Amino acid sequence: MTIDKQGLVVITGITGYLGSQTCLTFLQNGYRVRGTVRSVASSEAKIRAAFGDDLFANLELVSANLDDKASIVSACEGATYVIHTASPFHFGGDCVGPAVAGTTAVMEACTKHGVKMCVVTSSCAAVLAPAKEDAPVPPAMYDESSWSNPDRPEGLVDYMKSKTLAEKTAWDYQKANPGFDLATICPTFIMGPSPLGDGTSIKWLKTAMDGSKAKIPRGRSGFVDVRDVALAHLRAIEIPEAANKRFILYNDKGKMPDVYGWLAKFNERGAKVPTILGEGEDIGGDAVDNARSKEVLKIQYTPLETTFTDHAEQLLSRGLI
């Protein structure tokens, strides 16, 4: 597939944490972008301020909602590429309905408007939760062939089910309607500075830095930088070998004492990061294979310390800590 930088890129959900960084990445790389927002009137000023006038000049805003199929299909008219980042991310209420409906609308829009390629933001939530008996046995690792099982006997929280079913919806649709290429991006827990958004990642970091915790929690968790994830969406349309593949975006398992140690440096600037180590061990975190993202998308992962310190700097600069 020849890259058409004069073509239009439609990105859904550009006021979100990942969506805004993805939009910024495409604009910085010379693409013309149409971004969907819930309300243009209430979003335009803050988006312009976040991106700057020069980049904003190459951005068109349109109103669209995941539960309004006609608005999604209309937003994709004239697109060469579609980047679908919008999806509910919460742990209360229905995530499955809007996630599947929005993805279905995007897929149908790609067919209707002759889109060349669609990149869908999925999640490691769609990878790391098979039934217990189907989980890889070490030294085997989770990779792009791994799928979460929404019907597993252990149950699956609504958010994880929504990401699994939405991604399966995309692949099932494209298999039945193979008129455009598809790639899916499956990140683990995303952190790092982003132009907009106030979601789970920012709340997680605020809780670590605002005095909410008396001691450093123990454990390990997989993290990836939001800038690396945004770049993966860009590379997915620019690298021909990325077409019709899943990609896990995963940097490393961060030990909580290490993460809190990096953040504690900001205590002299008003943060209240705990420095007393909690009880327990730093176990946990799944064994995840990120080779495909490095080999095909050429992602060179940002060091975790940089991810967390850059993110902390942003929160301090915004007065959120």
Please indicate, yes or no, if residue 22 is contained in any of the structural domains.
Answer: yes
Q: Rounded distance, CA 120 to CA 117, Å?
A: 10
> Does residue 271 lie in a domain region?
no
Compute the distance between CA of residue 151 and CA of residue 311 in angstroms, rounded to an integer: 36
CATH of the domain at 158: 3.40.50.720
Evaluate whether residue 89 is within a structural domain.
yes
The alpha carbon dihedral of 79, 232, 241, 143 has a sign of: negative
> Tokens in use for 301?
């992962």
Catalytic residues: 163
What pLDDT was estimated at residue 6? 78
Cβ distance 144 to 167 under 8 Å?
no
pLDDT of residue 276: 97
Q: How far apart are CA 297 and CA 56, in angstroms?
A: 27
d(CA 65, CA 86): 9
Residue 218 within any structural domain of the chain: no
What is the per-residue pLDDT for 90? 65
Residue at 264 is within a domain: no
| Any domain includes 262 | no
Query: How many Å apart are CA 290 and CA 284, to the nearest integer?
Result: 18
DSSP state of 134: G
Backbone angles phi, psi at 69, to 5 degrees: -55, -45
Residue 40 exposure: Cα atoms within 13 Å on the Cβ side: 10
Domain annotation covers residue 309: no
Give the chain's residues under pLDDT 50: none
pTM: 0.96
Domain that holds residue 82: 8-192+223-251+287-295
Q: What is the pLDDT of residue 198?
A: 82
Looking at residue 88, what is its pLDDT? Answer: 67
Q: Across-strand partners of 223?
A: 189, 252
Quote the pLDDT of residue 158: 93
The count of domains in the chain is 1
Examine residue 256 and state whether it is found in any structural domain, yes or no: no
